[in-house]
C-alpha cells in the first residue's frame, strides 16, 4: 500500500514536470503563444499535483505562483498583493469552531434525539440522520462533520450490523459523507470553497450576503438531501433496527458547563452570520474570528493554542489563501476565455435551459474526477464567468451551481477524502456509491439548472 502511494506521487510529480517542460518546448520550437501555453501548462500541472497529492496542496500552489513570475505572467509582488487573507482567516476561525463543537457532547445528544424520534423505523432514521448531518455541515467543516458522525454512529452499529451484510450500515456509511458534502453548500460557512467564491464574486462587483446565500443554499440543499436519501433507501432497503438502550451513557451524555458555553457561542455566531445581511459592517469571516477569540478568553477556556494549532489544517489555510492568486495569473493569459468560448460554442445551439443543464452536468462530471474542492473552483469559476456573458445569463447563478457540485461529491470514493472516512469501515464498495448517486446526480443537474437561476432571479441577486 505504501509503495503504491509512493509510486502514485512519483508519477504525479514526473507528469507535472513533463507537462511544464513540453509547454516550454512548444514556445521555443513552434513560437506558440507563450503566455497561453504556459498558462495551460501551469493549470494542468497544478491539477496533476493536486489530484495525485505528489506535493502538499500549499506547496504546489506556492510553487506554481513562482512559475508565474518566471513565465512573465504575473510578478511575485502582484501575487503577494492578491493573496486571499480573508479566506485564510475564515478557515482558521471555522476550524476552531469545529474543534470546540467536536470536543463537546452536542453531536451525541443529537444522535440520541434522532434515535428516539425515528420510533424504530430504519428508513426514517436514515432520513432523519441525513438531514441533521447536512444542517450541521452548513455551519461546520464538511470533513469534520463527517468524521464526527462517523465516530458517533460506528461504535453504536458495528457490533450489531456487520460490514457486507447490512443495508442499514451501508445506508448510514454512505449517507454520512454524502449529506455532509451537500450541507457544505447550504451556507457560506459550510466549506472554505464558498468563501473563495464569495471573494471572486466581490472582485466582479457582486456582493452576496450570508443570508442571501442561505436563501438559495438551504432550499436547494434540503431538496438535494431528500432526493439522495430517498434513492439510497430505495436502492438499499435498510433492515429493521436491533434494539438500542437509549439510556446508555455512550449515546445519552449529559451536557457539562463547557458544552453549554459552546452552544451559546456557536449559537451567537450563527445568529450574527444571519444578521450580517442587514448590518453592513459585519461579514462572515469577521464574525467567525471574533467567535474564535471568545473561545480563548479567560473564564471561557474552550480552546488553547496547542489544541487549536493541532486541529487546524494549515495546508488548506495556505492553499485557500493562494489559489486565487494562481488562477488570477492563469486568467491573465487568456486561457480561460479560450476554454469558455469553446464550451459556449458547443452548447450555444441548445435552448437556454438545456444549456444550463449541460453546464451543471459537466460540472458534476468534472467534480467526479477532481477531488480537491479548491481546484474545482479555481478551474471552473473564471470559465463560468466568461460563459455567462456568452450565454447572456446571470454569472451568480452559474457560480452557485458550481458551489453546489463543489460541495456535493456524490460519485467519488477512492480520491475524495470525505468518503474515505467511512469507506474504510467496509460497509460499502465503490459500485454501491455509484449505484446510489448516479440517478440523483442526473436529477440534480436538472434541479440546480432550474431552481438556482429561478431563486436568484426571484430574489434579484447578482
Residue 57 and residue 113 share a domain: no
Q: Quickly state the pLDDT bin for 3 (edges 50, 70, 90).
A: very low
**pLDDT at residue 52, rounded to an integer:** 76
Which grid coordinates belong to 230? 430517498
Q: Which of the listed residues 34, 49, 75 is the one where a domain comes to its end?
A: 75
Q: HSE of 456 in the Cβ direction (CA atoms, 13 Å)? A: 19
Q: Do residues 260 and 392 both lie within one domain?
A: yes
C-alpha cell at 322: 493562494
- pLDDT tier for residue 307 given thresholds of 50, 70 and 90: confident
Residue 123 shares a structural domain with residue 59: no
**Model confidence over 201-224: pLDDT tens digits?**
887 788 888 889 999 999 999 999
Instruction: Say whether both 372 and 291 belong to one domain.
Output: yes
- Are residue 35 and residue 112 in the same domain, yes or no? no
* 4 lies in the same domain as 107: no
Higher confidence at residue 440 or residue 418? 440
279 and 249 in a single domain? The answer is: yes
pLDDT band at 1; cut points 50, 70, 90: very low
Residue 458: is it exposed, middle or buried by C-beta count within 10 angstroms (0-12/13-18/19+)?
exposed
CA–CA separation, 130 and 124 (whole Å):
10
Closest CA to 94 of 241, 277, 284: 284
- Which has more confidence, 358 or 27? 358
Residues 233 and 279 in one domain: yes
Examine the domain organization and report whether 389 and 290 are in the same domain.
Answer: yes
The single residue listed with the C-alpha cell 434540503 is 222
- Rounded to the nearest 10°, the torsion over CA 175, 416, 450, 388 is 160
pLDDT tens-digit readout, 93-115? 877 877 887 777 776 677 777 77
The tally of domains found in the chain comes to 2
Q: Among 26, 42, 75, give the residue marking a domain's end.
A: 75
- Which of 59-63, 116-120, 239-243, 345-349 tops mean pLDDT? 59-63
**Is residue 336 over pLDDT 70?**
no
**For residues 195 and 285, is the Cβ–Cβ distance under 8 A?**
yes
Which pLDDT belongs to residue 446?
93
Q: Are residues 37 and 180 in the same domain?
A: no
Q: What's the mean per-residue pLDDT of the chain? A: 81
What is the rounded distance in angstroms from the CA atom of residue 401 to the CA atom of residue 216?
Answer: 10
Assess whether 109 and 44 both reside in one domain: no
How many residues can be counted in the chain?
462
Across the range 84-97, mean pLDDT stands at 76
In the chain, % helix, strand, coil (3-state, to 5) comes to: 75, 0, 25
Q: Does pLDDT of 121 surpass 50?
A: yes
Distances in Å between the alpha carbon of 18 and those of 47, 176, 179? 14, 39, 39
Report how many helices (DSSP H) and strands (DSSP E) the chain contains, helices first.
21, 0
Q: Which three cell numbers stand for residue 192?
A: 472554505
**Which among 75, 106, 124 is the end of a domain?**
75
What pLDDT is stored for residue 136 in this prediction?
A: 86
Residues 147 and 49 in one domain: no
DSSP classification of residue 190: G
Q: Distance between CA atoms of 38 and 441, rounded to whole angstroms?
A: 34
Q: How far apart are CA 413 and CA 434, in angstroms?
A: 9
177 vs 283, residue with greater confidence: 177
Are 182 and 225 in contact, with CB atoms under 8 Å apart? yes
Of 406 and 83, the structure prediction assigns the larger pLDDT to 406
Dmax over Cα atoms in the chain, in whole Å?
A: 75
**Ranked by mean pLDDT, which of 67-76, 314-323, 372-381 comes out on top?**
67-76
| Domain that includes residue 66, residue range | 1-75
Amino acid at each position: 500500500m505504501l509503495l503504491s502511494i509512493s509510486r502514485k506521487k512519483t508519477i504525479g510529480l514526473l507528469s507535472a514536470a513533463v507537462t511544464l517542460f513540453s509547454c516550454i518546448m512548444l514556445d521555443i520550437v513552434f513560437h506558440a503563444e507563450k503566455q497561453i501555453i504556459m498558462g495551460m501548462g501551469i493549470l494542468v500541472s497544478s491539477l496533476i499535483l493536486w489530484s495525485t497529492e505528489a506535493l502538499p496542496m500549499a506547496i504546489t500552489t506556492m510553487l506554481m505562483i513562482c512559475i508565474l513570475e518566471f513565465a512573465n505572467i504575473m510578478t511575485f509582488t502582484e501575487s503577494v498583493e492578491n493573496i486571499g487573507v480573508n479566506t485564510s482567516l475564515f478557515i482558521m476561525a471555522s476550524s476552531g469552531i469545529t474543534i470546540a463543537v467536536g470536543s463537546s457532547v452536542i453531536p451525541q445528544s443529537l444522535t440520541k434525539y434522532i434515535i428516539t424520534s425515528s420510533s424504530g423505523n430504519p428508513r426514517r432514521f436514515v432520513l432523519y440522520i441525513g438531514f441533521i448531518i447536512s444542517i450541521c455541515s452548513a455551519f461546520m467543516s464538511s470533513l469534520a462533520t463527517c468524521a464526527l458522525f462517523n465516530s458517533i454512529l460506528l461504535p453504536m452499529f458495528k457490533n450489531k450490523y456487520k460490514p457486507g451484510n447490512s443495508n442499514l450500515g451501508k445506508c448510514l456509511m454512505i449517507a454520512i459523507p454524502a449529506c455532509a458534502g451537500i450541507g457544505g453548500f447550504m451556507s457560506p460557512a459550510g466549506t472554505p470553497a464558498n468563501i473563495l467564491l464569495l471573494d471572486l464574486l466581490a472582485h466582479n462587483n457582486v456582493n452576496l450576503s450570508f443570508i442571501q446565500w442561505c436563501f438559495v443554499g438551504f432550499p436547494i440543499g434540503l431538496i438535494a438531501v431528500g432526493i439522495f436519501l430517498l434513492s439510497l433507501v430505495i436502492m438499499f432497503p435498510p433492515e429493521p433496527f436491533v434494539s438500542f438502550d437509549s439510556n446508555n451513557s455512550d449515546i445519552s451524555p449529559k451536557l457539562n458547563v463547557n458544552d453549554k458555553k459552546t452552544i451559546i457561542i456557536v449559537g451567537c455566531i450563527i445568529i450574527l452570520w444571519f444578521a450580517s445581511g442587514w448590518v453592513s459592517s459585519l461579514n462572515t469571516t469577521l464574525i467567525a474570528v471574533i467567535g474564535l477569540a471568545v473561545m480563548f478568553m479567560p473564564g471561557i477556556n474552550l480552546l488553547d493554542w496547542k489544541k487549536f494549532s493541532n486541529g487546524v489544517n494549515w495546508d488548506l489555510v495556505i492553499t485557500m489563501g493562494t489559489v486565487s492568486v494562481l488562477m488570477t495569473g492563469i486568467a491573465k493569459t487568456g486561457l480561460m476565455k479560450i476554454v469558455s468560448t469553446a464550451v459556449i460554442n458547443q452548447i450555444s445551439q441548445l435552448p437556454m435551459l438545456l444549456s444550463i443543464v449541460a453546464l451543471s452536468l459537466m460540472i458534476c462530471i468534472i467534480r467526479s474526477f477532481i477531488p480537491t474542492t479548491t481546484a474545482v473552483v479555481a478551474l471552473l469559476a473564471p470559465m463560468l464567468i466568461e460563459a455567462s456573458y456568452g450565454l447572456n445569463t446571470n454569472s451568480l447563478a452559474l457560480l452557485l451551481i458550481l458551489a453546489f457540485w463543489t460541495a456535493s461529491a456524490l460519485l467519488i470514493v477512492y480520491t475524495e477524502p470525505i468518503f474515505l472516512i467511512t469507506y474504510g469501515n467496509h460497509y460499502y464498495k465503490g459500485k454501491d456509491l455509484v449505484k446510489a448517486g448516479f440517478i440523483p446526480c442526473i436529477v440534480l443537474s436538472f434541479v440546480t439548472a432550474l431552481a438556482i437561476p429561478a431563486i436568484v432571479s426571484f430574489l434579484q441577486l447578482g
